[in-house]
Homo-oligomer: A and B are copies of this chain.
Amino acid sequence: MDVTIDNFEQILPEIKQKIEECTFCSIDCELTGITQYKNLNSFDTPRIRYEKIKNNDNNFLILQFGLCLFKYNEGDKSYETNAYNCYLFPRSVNCKYSRDLSFSCLNSSLEFLIEQNFDFNKVFKKGVSFVSKDQEEILRHKLELDLEERSIPKGTLYPSKKEFHQQIDTLMTEIDEFVQNENETRKEIKFTEFVVRIFIEKNIRQKYQKRLKYENKFLENKERLMTITKVDSLDIKSDLDDFEKEIGFSRLIWFLSQSQKLIIGHNMMTDVMQILRQFFTSPLPENFEDFKSMTNSLFPKILDTKYMASVPPLKELVTNTTLGDMDKILSKDPFPTIKIENDVYSVNDEKLHEAGYDAYLTGCCYARMMHYLESLKGSRSTFEEFYINRLYLMKSFDTIYIDLKNFQEEPKRDNVFYLEFPSSWETQDLYDLFSAYGPIFIGWINDRSAFVGLQNADNAKKAAGQLVGVSGREYKVYFYSTFINQKNKSALGEKKENGKNKQIDKRKRNKGGTNQGAETTSDESSELKKVKTEENGSVNIEKPFEQNADW
């Protein structure tokens, strides 16, 4: 079901009830942009990956949020599902509390969405508004101050010239009586001086805010006529209602968070980061561990189906983990069919990349994989425990998930090397260089440097002996650990330097990630000297361990 400003307020109580009743829920987000992969690297550690995505300057938005609620019926082993495809847009027109907001779009992301028939006209016209929890607190404080201010009785305001004070008092008394008399809806008062008009208006605004409306006109005898009418709808209750309306979709997300339900997503790292930023706090925590504990406290049970399908025992069966292909694989033997009572999307609905449909597919994939595992052995909760709170890390050489709950050691990577070479080098040149050591995995940093990981760690020692520290070649090969130590040293050096602003630090860090690692420290130089050079062997890479096509 599409959720827009036309039905959100009506449908919200129903969604909340379905959340409370559900066994699990699945989500999916469509964004105006994502961190471009060229800025990421297969050898990013979880922390580095988080920092890269977080520090991406772009201020993207979720424009469509898919939520699918699955309720398992033990009796007939079936699911009742409800899918909501929610259009989101930060509204400003006719909003009392919300404000102008600028956001970023990436051309390629919009091109991708429009190719999938995403309806931008609908989202800009009918998207439900939202605010982050941070903003809501500021706005609510303002609202409370405003309401409090109104409840304090205030003295009448007068101009400096005393001759008008009596007249203003008389007129204000008339207006007070008019307000108190429920039978009257319209009041006319007369006076001649402009200053009286100004101060009557001032006093009305101070005392009755928008509950009274006034209009002025000149009469023929040069008298002024002010017509005052009551505006019933704009009372305090309505202000509170308006406020809740402007908080909009965030109320649903916050309810979902409080529900502590199991939340399923597919390849959900970017979605989770954007949900935190858009509906809770911006900017995201500087520290990676803070991000993990924040995510864990807001959503204590998250499960990523891409991670689930990428580790044994399902890894061997699910040979392609893009959502659409994975769904096709899981629809066949040996995976059990699942019974859906009310199939919200028909099988032939080719709505891939509509958030509601993707959320629905994700939930179905989860259910099929879980029922399959149950059929093998053990209980659902044991499996969940194994998969839960691990976010899949795309295109990663070794660490394929972020553990939201537990501390993760940085990978050692004895089988990884850092290389520098002329900018004319291509992938094939790296294959050639490492041809004697079995399949390799390449993580390009830029056109002059890259990480190279050996699939067969047993070959690392031989490769190190023949390549690391060899001089007089157009390339230089270093141990991964040498690179990291050097990088940490420069980072530490930067932290010690005070009085520089973040912008500068960031630029330096980026540079540190590419060039500075090249300079070997004195600790390393002895190690480098020990290495013996040897002529490269013949090319024998049959199946290079290339980057997975589905990433």
Contacts and interface: CB of A to CB of B under 8 A. Distances in A.
A100 interface: yes
Contacts of A100: 36, 106-108
Given A114-B125, A160-B536, A539-B194, A89 B103 contact: no
A202 interface: yes
Given A93-B108, A100-B106, A195 B539 contact: yes
A167 B501 CA distance: 60
Contacts of A541: 194
Interface string A78-116: 000000000001111100000011111111101111110
Interface string A374-391: 000000000000000000
Nearest to A429: B202
Given A115-B125, A198-B539, 5 more contacts: A100-B108, A102-B107, A120-B124, A195-B539, A195-B540
A121 interface: yes
A19 to B, nearest CB: 28
Contacts of A36: 100
A192 to B, nearest CB: 12
Given A93-B111, A100-B36, A432-B159, A121 B124 contact: no
User: Which of A102, A428, A504 has the most C-beta atoms of chain B within 10 angstroms of its own C-beta?
Assistant: A102
Interface string A412-441: 000000000000000010011001000000
A104 B104 CA distance: 4
Given A194-B542, A538-B160, A107 B121 contact: no
Contacts of A180: none
B101 A102 contact: no
Interface in A279-302: none
A215 to B, nearest CB: 17
B110 A124 contact: yes
Contact of A92 (B111, B119, B202, B537): B111
16 contacts: A33-B102, A92-B111, A101-B106, A101-B107, A102-B106, A104-B105, A110-B124, A114-B124, A120-B120, A120-B121, A159-B432, A194-B541, A198-B428, A198-B431, A198-B432, A503-B503
Interface in A109-156: 110-115, 119-121, 124-125
A58 interface: yes
A412 to B, nearest CB: 31
Contacts of A121: 114, 119-121
A2 to B, nearest CB: 16
A524 to B, nearest CB: 28
A538 B195 contact: yes
Given A538-B159, A539-B195, A540-B194, A107 B103 contact: yes
Contact of A503 (B93, B501, B535): B501
A371 to B, nearest CB: 39
Interface in A53-80: 57-59
Given A160-B538, A161-B538, A535-B160, A104 B103 contact: yes
Nearest to A428: B202
A534 B59 CA distance: 54
Contacts of A103: 104-105, 107
User: Which of A33, A57, A538 has the most C-beta atoms of chain B within 10 angstroms of its own C-beta?
Assistant: A538
4 interchain residue pairs of minimum CB distance: A195-B539, A120-B120, A114-B124, A92-B108
Interface in A526-551: 535-542
Contacts of A161: 538-539
Contacts of A93: 108, 111-112, 115
A121 to B, nearest CB: 5
Contacts of A33: 102
A114 B91 CA distance: 12
Contact of A105 (B57, B102, B107): B102
B119 A107 contact: no
A424 to B, nearest CB: 10
Interface string A320-357: 00000000000000000000000000000000000000
A539 B159 contact: yes
Contacts of A202: 428
A91 B120 contact: no
Contact of A102 (B58, B92, B113, B201): B58
Contacts of A91: 107, 111
A270 to B, nearest CB: 15
Contacts of A57: 102
A109 to B, nearest CB: 9
A141 to B, nearest CB: 16
A550 to B, nearest CB: 19
Contacts of A102: 33, 57-58, 104-107
Contacts of A58: 102
A447 B541 CA distance: 70
Interface in A469-485: none
A36 B89 CA distance: 19
Contacts of A160: 432, 535-539
